Structure 1
Amino acid sequence: MSDALSRFRDSWAHLRPDLDLSSMEAIGRVLRLAALMHHITDTALTDAEVTRPEFEVLAALRRSPHGLRPRQLTRETVSSSAATTKRLTRLEQAGLITRTPHHRDRREVQVTLTDRGAQLAEELFTGQLQRESELLAPLNPDERAQLAHLLQRVLAPIDRA
């Protein structure tokens, strides 16, 4: 079975037979898979009230029953503080989140989901799980677990979040 990375590898192998291309094959596939999954998610969210990055904020808040501070959301969603601020403003205007002064430090805010935001996060998350399951359909349950384990081994040393 061939994919784009197979073609890229073959081209590079022809140009530079002296190079070990195994890292390009693995990382390239992870990056391509992520880009394609983002596209699939973006397309699926076309009719939703939120963009994919905004959905990521809603999902992070749904996992955190007491809410999160903006800098925590920035880490959780691997984005910039400016992007987080923009997303929070948009989600607050849409009535999906609230920002209240933090109980210990009033200079900080605590971001929480509104009831409507929690309901939307649940609906969107269910759809996302379905899309991801369809994407992994070529793998049996053992292969899915093995893939998850291998990716965790690679990600854990570099993921500071």
Structure 2
Amino acid sequence: MSLTGSPRPADSNRAFGPKGADDIASTASTAPDGKPHHDEVDVIVDAWASVRPGLDTTPLEVLSRISRIARRLDQARNAVFTEHELDGWEFDVMSALRRAGEPFELSPGALVQKTLVTSGTMTNRVDGLERRGFVSRQPSPSDRRGVLVRLTPAGLRAVDAAFDALLHHERRLLAGMDDDARAHLAASLRTLLTAVES
């Protein structure tokens, strides 16, 4: 992945955005009546209830929280990639190659499918990764005119190091949940994602 050029976080908590993980966990807001809210979504839902009392705002209870979590995760992941001098799109391409197993290679078409970008965008991304020495183009043994994109040893080291750091940060985000709670949440989110994607 390429250098982002953005400044590195001052400390590990910066990977969680403007506030550290502990700050986020302890943050609470207060309503006008003095009763504490658990999070900002409660504030939003209560505000809508006060101006539109007959409106069913229950979807916000789930989807607004998912939206806010997604923004926090983007901040966390971008910070991790920046620490490893990578861009997110570079990690996406290299991790797709890494997951393919040895010899860590895929066709450009397979990479397009796995990363959900256009073929033109993928060509540019492979060019950039090749310039950095993270991937190489190899002739396809089954198609004389085709090529395969292969992860180099340098690319393998880079993607593994970034992924290890990413998992470390994301374990911290989930540290307040026990195994059963995480499994239940994963199952619920799987059900929701299946419904949304269908």
Does the pair score TM above 0.5?
Answer: yes
Which shifted more, 31-40 or 136-145? 31-40
- Tell me if the contact between 1:38 and 1:52 (Cα under 8 Å) persists in the aligned partners: no
Aligned pair count?
160
Whether 1:12 aligns to 2:48 is yes
**Correspondent of 2:126 among 88, 91, 106:** 88
The offset of 1:43, in angstroms, is 1.6
Question: What is the CA RMSD across the aligned residues, in angstroms?
Answer: 2.3
- Tell me if the contact between 2:80 and 2:162 (Cα under 8 Å) persists in the aligned partners: no
One-letter amino acid of the counterpart of residue 134, structure 1? R
One-letter amino acid of the counterpart of residue 157, structure 2? Q
Which position in structure 2 is the counterpart of 1:37? 73
Write the distance in 1 (CA, Å) between the matches of 2:43 and 2:183: 27
The offset of 1:28, in angstroms, is 1.9
Which position in structure 2 is the counterpart of 1:55? 91
Residue aligned with 1:18, SS: coil
Write the distance in 2 (CA, Å) between the matches of 1:22 and 1:58: 39
The one-character-per-residue Cα deviations of 1:3-26 (angstroms, maximum 9, x if unpaired) are 232222222223333332222221
**Correspondent of 2:62 among 4, 26, 29:** 26
The one-character-per-residue Cα deviations of 1:20-79 (angstroms, maximum 9, x if unpaired) are 222222122222212111111212222323112211221111100252223332332334
Write the distance in 1 (CA, Å) between the matches of 2:131 and 2:185: 39
- Greater RCO (CA < 8 Å, at least 6 residues apart): 2
Write the distance in 1 (CA, Å) between the matches of 2:113 and 2:41: 30
One-letter amino acid of the counterpart of residue 94, structure 2? L
Aligned in 2, Cα 1:80/1:136: closer, same or farther, shift over 3 Å? farther
The offset of 1:139, in angstroms, is 0.6
Q: TM-score, normalised by structure 1?
A: 0.84
Aligned in 2, Cα 1:158/1:78: closer, same or farther, shift over 3 Å? farther
**Correspondent of 2:115 among 73, 77, 82:** 77
Q: TM-score, normalised by structure 2?
A: 0.70
Aligned in 2, Cα 1:130/1:12: closer, same or farther, shift over 3 Å? same
* Structure with greater proportional strand content: 2
Where has structure 1 moved over 6 Å in runs of 4 or more?
none
Aligned in 2, Cα 1:68/1:123: closer, same or farther, shift over 3 Å? same
5+ long unaligned stretches in structure 2: 1-36
